[in-house]
Amino acid sequence: MIIEIKVPSPGESITEVEIASWLVRDGDLVTKDQELAEIESDKATLTIAAEQAGKIKILLEPEVLVEVGAIACTIDTSIVPEEGAEPVTPKAEEKVKTTEESKPDAKEKASVPDELSKVKVSPVAQNIMEEEGWTVEDVVKGLHRISKKELEAVKNNVNSVVSSGLENEPKERALDRNKMSSLRKKLAQRLVAVKQETAMLTTFNEVDMTNIMALRKKYQSLFVEKHGVKLGFMSFFIKASALAMAKHPMVNSMIDGDEIVTPNYVDVSVAVQTPKGLMVPVIRNTESMSLAQIEDTLKQLAVKARAGKISLDEMTGGSFTVTNGGVFGSMLSTPLINPPQSAILGMHNIVERPMAVNGKVEIRPIMYTALSYDHRIIDGKDSVGFLVTLKKMLENPELMLTGGDELEKLVLDL
């Protein structure tokens, strides 16, 4: 029996997708539910799975736009793999073949020039060379530049592979061209549209991370033991942002035609860098979630995004975005708004800086924060006030229990 496998739809508004790559070869024997291909659209990446076991016949070429619903391949269920057989992907076979071909035989290894036979090789280096199938001659030929470090190594008579007769050969001049994916194209269009269609402005502040870092250090092991997930910085920023929205709801608003829409919930989109580009999975109802729930949800979404398994529903509907450039070492930036949202919070790296504390100079771990916002609906009062409220709660985490209000005010009913 021949069954047809059709191209699935990533969403209602999508009519065309791109087959990014086939995970099997034409004529392979596949098992039921085995992943056959990766489908990429301008919004999400998903996979095609085998509905039944059998022999596959591929009908569509990779890296070509095809219509949703088109027949991607067929499976002949009358020819099935042996029971218990492991599915072999093309990448795995090619890797084995390439590795075997790259290893020189014993005769080639033995043919080492006399002048290189006296070169000393450390045990660690020898193991690496054996794994890669390299000879001493291969390593010496791979050195194109002698630096001061190599010369000092020779002078001090340490185990180094250095040759004094190497030529400084120029690198081959070449251009590497790669086709833009549908996801990357759509991302580029959205980023340009943000600059053209919004009145974007960015305001900054700084946060003393001393108390949060002390809190994590003191309770990290207990937190992991109870909740099964590590306590990071992102959950503090997401939770504090959601609570600050109660005082500054316009930061959580968006423009819809001639109307301003302000949800009574805070769905936070979190920017996650993946091999296929930037994705923004959404954590919903963060205003009612605990730090542990935020961390757990964030971990699950990030893993799915990086593996290309995240669904379209999990990336739509956010009302506010948090992005952390600090993981890449960014000191300061002006993040771009994620439309149709009206604001995005940028986190950065934590650096020890001299600060004036109670009239004295102290070294404190400081993070610069940035809020980019659409000035058409968010005024300076709300944007600056939002960052100030956020700063207060991050520098004094106990204020998250009161939504940013001082405990003394609650006692005095003020």
Q: What is the pLDDT of residues 165-176, one digit of tens each?
A: 445 667 778 888
Q: Which of 105, 208, 379, 413 is catalytic?
A: 379
Q: Is the pLDDT of residue 372 over 80?
A: yes
Q: Is the pLDDT of residue 357 over 80?
A: yes
Q: Which residues pair with 277 in a beta bridge?
A: 274
pLDDT in tens, 65-116: 888 888 989 999 888 776 656 655 554 444 444 444 444 454 444 444 555 5
Q: What is the pLDDT of residue 217?
A: 94
The percentage of residues in the chain with a pLDDT greater than 90, rounded to a whole number, is 42
Q: What is the pLDDT of residue 229?
A: 93
- Please, what is the average pLDDT of the chain? 81
H or E stretch covering 195: helix 182-197
Active site residue 375: yes
Q: What is the pLDDT of residue 122?
A: 64
Active site residue 379: yes
Q: Is the pLDDT of residue 262 over 90?
A: yes
CA distances (Å), origin 314, targets 96, 115, 302, 309, 310: 37, 63, 11, 10, 7
Q: What is the pLDDT of residue 323?
A: 93
Structure confidence at residue 242 as a pLDDT band (50, 70, 90): very high
Q: Which of 348, 375, 382, 413 is catalytic?
A: 375
Average pLDDT over residues 294-320: 87
Q: What is the pLDDT of residue 114?
A: 58
pLDDT in tens, 330-342: 999 999 998 889 9
Residue 162 carries which DSSP code? -
Structure confidence at residue 44 as a pLDDT band (50, 70, 90): low
Which of 29, 28, 47 has the alpha carbon at shortest distance from 37? 47
Q: Coil, helix or strand for 311?
A: coil
Q: What is the pLDDT of residue 239?
A: 96
